[in-house]
Amino acid sequence: MLTYLMRRILLMIPTLLGITVVVFAVMAASPGGISPQSLIEGAMKPNERQALLDYYNKRYGLDDPAPVQYLRWLNNVSPIGFTLNEQHKVDGFSLTKGSDLGTSFTYNRPVSEVLAERIPITLLLNVITIPLIYIGAIVLGVKAANESGSKFDVSSNVIMLALWSIPVMLAGVLLLGFFASVQHWQWFPTAGIGSRAAQDMPYLPHWGSALDALKFFGGMMLGTLLMIWLSRWPETKIRMAVAALFGLVAGVAVAQDHGQQSTIVWVLMPLLGALCVGGIAMIDYAPLRTMGLALFGLIVGGALAYQMLDQGFVRGFLMDRAWHLVLPVICLTYGAGAGLAKITRSSVLENLHADYARTARAKGLGQKEVLWTHVFRNSLLPLITIIAGLLPSLLAGSLIVENIFSINGMGQLAIEAVKNRDREMVLSITLISGFLTLIGYLIADILYTFADPRVVYD
């Protein structure tokens, strides 16, 4: 195993070099190539344009052949290499010269500074969405596979397929149009992950009095406990009827809050509320039913309590950030979660019908023990394969979501760098993403050995 790991780590070096060579060659072969002309915009006098061309050529070495430019960049990013003088001539070799990602053409700032600003934003988005995706996918997938052919399996498959089929671009635009527009429900902000006013707010929410805090948390607690109690009601018809009534009332409140009153909204919203909440109460799987109704109670209780607060309430930096992240997180979660749930179901269902599972049942083991002790462990292999791509996705982010919601993360930065032919930025993002991809595959190989002892690397 140790020999395999060392071999894989050593192979990362030529792989990364190959990735950067391909990206640099594509940029150089594109119309216009990597030249100072691509950095100059607007009408300028001939002497001014020539002076600017000479400046860019001298600063970035853009008048050199493409192989020389690539080798210079490679020497700069390598912690070991040649040192250059002010005339960009080699004057020695150093083992401790350090790594320099260069200066961005677009921002006229060191690439490392720009990346240090953008990476935390994309990391925040993915640290929130990835656990939600995997927890929801595993719960739904295992439950659907364990009850193959049941109403839950059929309905969840239909819902997951529908969610997976909705384009993220369409979902993002619809969410903005309905829940951030003044014409409908202006519940969420339209752009960014924080407001300017939040920079001057305290970090945590601040209430004008202790009574306001008691109202807010008491309302959320009361709504959550009430819905949990309802979810445990033994008679399904009564539980559905009461839940549908709560949904109907919530739908009426939503219709009343609509920006433009219309008959369609007054009919559609109560109907959707009754159907959705009543449908959650109909779910046979108790944990999922309880979680869904508890979330509904938490939101409704918090919304009602918020309406009763005095004017002294300040949401604070933390709540403002969470408020801005609701819609982007929904867009990043629903499609990936639906697809992963389908994969989980297929993997668990295949292993449930395997010979070793039948043997375990024949020895007298219960279905739950067979599922979680034997089947689930072997079903993790496809999920581990998908995990291998998580590390690069932490930096790549979601290009579509970040552009729709105007979030200055790594996804938007990559698009801007490619459009502006920012050589240093594109190569740096490629280098970091490629390195994380290879590290992800290495981690996946290690996890394979823990999930399946039959996997060996000798």
H/E segment holding residue 94: strand 90-94
400 and 352 in contact (C-beta within 8 Å)?
A: no
Residue % of the chain over a pLDDT of 90: 9
Q: Which residues contact 138 (CB under 8 A, 6 or more apart)?
A: 344, 383
Residue ranges of domains in the chain, CATH in brackets: 2-111 (no CATH), 114-203+330-458 (1.10.3720.10), 207-313 (no CATH)
**Given its phi and psi angles, is residue 406 left (phi above 0), alpha (psi -120 to 50 degrees) or beta?**
left
- Predicted TM-score (pTM) of this structure: 0.82
The amino acid at residue 414 is A
Please report how many Cα atoms fall inside a 13 Å half-sphere around the Cα of residue 223, on the Cβ side.
Answer: 24
In tens digits, what is the pLDDT along the chain, a chain of 458 residues?
677 778 878 888 888 888 888 888 887 777 766 666 656 665 667 777 777 777 777 777 777 788 888 888 888 888 887 877 766 677 777 777 778 888 887 887 888 899 888 888 888 888 888 888 888 888 888 888 888 888 888 888 898 999 989 988 899 889 988 888 877 888 888 888 888 888 788 888 887 778 888 888 898 999 999 999 999 988 888 999 999 999 999 988 888 887 677 778 888 888 999 999 998 898 887 888 899 999 999 999 988 888 887 777 787 888 888 888 999 999 888 888 888 899 999 989 988 888 888 888 888 888 888 888 888 888 888 888 887 776 666 566 577 888 888 888 888 888 888 888 788 888 888 888 888 888 888 888 888 877 777 766 66
Cα(290)–Cα(139) distance, integer angstroms = 13
User: How is residue 455 written in tokens?
Assistant: 């996997």
CB of 118 closer than 8 Å to CB of 408: yes
Whole-Å CA distances, 145 to 29, 158, 206, 213: 50, 14, 46, 44
Q: What is the reported pLDDT for 37?
A: 61
User: Taken in order 446, 451, 455, 458, is the CA torsion positive or negative?
Assistant: positive
